[in-house]
Structure 1
């Protein structure tokens, strides 16, 4: 998920208790002051969420098993809203400058094109021919998130200028759900998930301090436990289309529209409550998997290829049992760790973090004031201005 998945934008470190005094350490203290601050909680959360992403995709074909179906619903209640909110928080420094846009193109748009081609190539071999549509504007499977992140990031300067960005994003999302949006650029999901991105964009580091309170953690345990229990009857009664935030509410079997809006609001509230509960229970100290939170884009893009191949194989025909579901979850966990390994990342770097500066037009330096020859600038310098 681009820089939010690989190398997220970070705040500068703030001096605190125990910081070395400048007089004692001189240049070392100055270097430490400039070191980027990384929030271990967010890196931990990103890794745990990408694990849920992989597990959710891995068990999707096994939803006929009751326990698997409940787990699938529980994961989909919140894992993408949580990821999107974190992505919004890590996008606060995006200012629309040429350097930022260049990085966005190289870390989001170019990997999208590469993996779209890989996905379509596998589908073509599986089908024995080309599909009915080969539009680059129609993301394959997991790639909708890259499209959404690209569009959300470009809109960051706009949201920063608004007085009530979260409220406006919420209104846009809710009213857009009453319109039938095509699957071009996954606009249904882009608009539906928009409030979570804008909410993350509006958060500040001090807001996360509330998550450390004991009563918040106790409530968070209750929230995640209760939703795990509720996932069983919900998975049996509600279509999983509600989990994808993709289709218009007018396409539902529920009529009139008001009950559908109520269910959408309920899912929004559920996702928000579970997201904060999840973050409250995520370790805020460094753990063995903290550093792996830097490589979630490798996992996100790599696992899609792995499980497209799995779905084309006899795996799910053989593993369509409770024991097979356990084995599939184990494979998902192993795949996540494998895709984080240094040698796999090195093999995938060309596709996930391509160095394709030739893809962009070289930016010309601005002409000096006073004409193309810069005469005006020289005159002002000579005059001491």
Structure 2
């Protein structure tokens, strides 16, 4: 869902392929290697994001509700694991920070303004809050990604980053977190980002084992069956990882912590299963995995407009739900087309270098102190080396 940090190392066996013409932003020269499995996974996950958001208003239909729950069991944790893995090269340098601001923060500001403009027209006036610190609908992910990536150098210095992130996420859920900067989701999903950050290429080789792929079929099939009773008995609030455990009608420690742990385990198991079953070879949609940010940002605007129309009143049945799923699939593909990307580039990949302060050139280093003996008044060296002035 976000522009990946390109992995320029050579691919593992059968795990990567040279990027096609569509995977590089027109850069001349030899295209860097990209992991085909990750690009495939990113496109499939963004399709699930679009479909999940498209069918959200139709959850009164039992079959749609089960599909919605199954998607939300794992699609965001899986995307966040991949985002963490692709953030390994973030080192806090000025170039990395500049890229983060221009590719995450600036698009956030642009689409926040677009969302608020549509809401203002729809409601016939301004809302109660116009704070930029309160993300609109899907934009919480850009805020989370911005904060997570800024924290990458910290996690790299820790000995047990995943365990620490897990503890922070679990215990922070027992206190009330405001919706400012979507802190609830930022903290709740943190372990998945740090897990992805801790992965290495060799870990993905485990996904090619036959027994794991067979087990993955069982996991995804079983969870699809379980989604039916769970969608009927458990509030969808558990799917969003947004609210504190103290904001629920049940005890915030038990069973709330147990349910949160169960959802964490479920998300992790389904993420592994999904990646194991994702094709590792190049497919017709591999190159489209480079454009998930266009799909993510573009589909939110389209669906906000669609929800304000009579569409869901007309499609409030199983046939209409199937048509809506088809519309979601078509929308994901449409937003990847070259002409749509060209029309959206000003907002998704804004060239706004003026937004940043020009970096001052580093001062030239002082010349090294002479190693010759210092001269005294009579021109004779006294045998002592001259020491450089501290701080020069």
**TM-score, scaled relative to structure 1:** 0.90
Please, which of 272, 277, 285 is the counterpart of residue 273 of structure 2?
277
Q: Structure 1 stretch 245-254 or stretch 292-301: which is displaced more?
A: 245-254
> Who is 1:82 aligned against?
78
> Who is 2:184 aligned against?
188
Relative to structure 1, is the Cα distance of residues 274 and 353 closer, same or farther in structure 2, using a 3 angstrom cutoff? Answer: same
Please, which of 298, 305, 310 is the counterpart of residue 301 of structure 2?
305
Please, which of 70, 84, 94 is the counterpart of residue 98 of structure 1?
94
Task: Tell which structure's C-alpha radius of gyration is larger.
Answer: 2
Identify the structure with the greater helix proportion.
1
> Who is 1:107 aligned against?
103
Cα distance between partner residues in 1 of 2:357 and 2:74:
40
Give per-residue Cα distances to partners, 1:185-225, cap 9 Å, x unaligned.
Answer: 00000000000000000000110111101000000000000
**TM-score, scaled relative to structure 2:** 0.89
Relative to structure 1, is the Cα distance of residues 77 and 16 closer, same or farther in structure 2, using a 3 angstrom cutoff? Answer: closer
> Who is 2:158 aligned against?
162
> Who is 2:148 aligned against?
152
Cα distance between partner residues in 2 of 1:196 and 1:11:
23
Contact 1:87 1:197 in 2 (8 A): yes
Cα distance between partner residues in 1 of 2:239 and 2:342:
34
- 1:51 paired with 2:47, answer yes
Contact 1:368 1:377 in 2 (8 A): no
Q: Structure 1 stretch 36-45 or stretch 277-286: which is displaced more?
A: 36-45
- 1:252 paired with 2:248, answer yes
What aligned pairs does 1:321-336 form with structure 2 within 5 A after superposition? 321-336=317-332
Cα distance between partner residues in 1 of 2:325 and 2:226:
21
How far 1:231 moved relative to its partner?
Answer: 0.1
Give per-residue Cα distances to partners, 1:225-283, cap 9 Å, x unaligned.
Answer: 00000000000000000000000001111125221000000000000000000000000
Contact 1:12 1:35 in 2 (8 A): no
Cα distance between partner residues in 1 of 2:95 and 2:163:
30
How far 1:57 moved relative to its partner?
Answer: 0.1
What aligned pairs does 1:300-379 form with structure 2 within 5 A after superposition? 300-370=296-366, 376=367
Cα distance between partner residues in 1 of 2:11 and 2:133:
43
Relative to structure 1, is the Cα distance of residues 256 and 181 closer, same or farther in structure 2, using a 3 angstrom cutoff? Answer: closer
How far 1:14 moved relative to its partner?
Answer: 5.6
Could you say what secondary structure the match of 2:33 adopts? coil
What aligned pairs does 1:128-277 form with structure 2 within 5 A after superposition? 128-255=124-251, 257-277=253-273
Contact 1:221 1:277 in 2 (8 A): yes
How far 1:369 moved relative to its partner?
Answer: 2.5
- 1:12 paired with 2:9, answer yes
Contact 2:112 2:132 in 1 (8 A): yes
Cα distance between partner residues in 1 of 2:13 and 2:259:
46
How far 1:9 moved relative to its partner?
Answer: 2.4
Contact 1:138 1:183 in 2 (8 A): yes
Could you say what secondary structure the match of 1:340 adopts? coil
How far 1:35 moved relative to its partner?
Answer: 5.6
Give the aligned length. 357
Relative to structure 1, is the Cα distance of residues 253 and 16 closer, same or farther in structure 2, using a 3 angstrom cutoff? Answer: closer
Contact 1:189 1:245 in 2 (8 A): yes
> Who is 2:2 aligned against?
2
Superposed structure 1 runs of 4+ greater than 6 Å apart:
377-380
Give unpaired runs (5+ residues) of structure 2.
15-29, 372-392
Contact 1:119 1:305 in 2 (8 A): yes
Give per-residue Cα distances to partners, 1:292-332, cap 9 Å, x unaligned.
Answer: 00000000000000000000000000000000000100100
How far 1:37 moved relative to its partner?
Answer: 2.2
